[in-house]
Amino acid sequence: MWFDHAIVHDTAPTYALPTVRFLEENSDNRISDGPAFRKIRGSKLRRYDALTSVVNRLLEDRKLDFQPSFLFPVASSLGFFNQDMHELTKVLTKTFKKTHKAEGPRFDGLKVSELGGRFKVQIRNSLCFALLKGNALATYNQGTGCVVKPP
């Protein structure tokens, strides 16, 4: 699996109004399908278009012994994720469960399925906390020419 992530600041002046309009158009519209997400995903698709076409050609010619997949996970500064980000967290959780299942029974009595659920929640919380931390740093340094340490 190959992935290239991005964080989109959907509250930025260039995205805020189009995002609000998009959400007001239809109550079924999700923010992860909005203009900010579409723009960044389109940018990623264009950037990796040559690579994906080469990989697809190699697959057709049966020159690869594996089936690659491409994900472009995008998170908004408000903590919303696109479908690729959800897919990435599923893959991480599945790998976690598989690794722990191979180790055998645990001494603390926790089941692998319970650990997997905890891991999934922890991954989401970690991603949201990282976004929150980044937003706090950006807000603190708004308008300054560089990052400044407090006295």
Residue 69 lies in a domain: yes
Residue 37 lies in a domain: yes
* Closest by CA position to 8, among listed 28, 49, 30, 38: 38
Q: How far apart are CA 29 and CA 24, in angstroms?
A: 8
**Residue 50: predicted pLDDT:** 93
Residue 145 lies in a domain: no
Residue 6 lies in a domain: yes
Name the DSSP class of 81.
B
Condensed to tens digits (0 to 9), the pLDDT of residues 11-57 reads: 788 888 898 899 899 989 998 899 999 999 999 999 999 999 999 99
**Residue 98: predicted pLDDT:** 85
Percent of the chain at pLDDT exceeding 70: 90
Residue 131 lies in a domain: yes
Residue 50 lies in a domain: yes
Domains identified in the chain, total number: 1
Q: How far apart are CA 120 and CA 131, in angstroms?
A: 17
**Residue 123: predicted pLDDT:** 85
6 strand-pairing partners: 74
Residue 148 lies in a domain: no
Task: Report the predicted TM-score, pTM, of the whole model to 2 decimal places.
Answer: 0.72
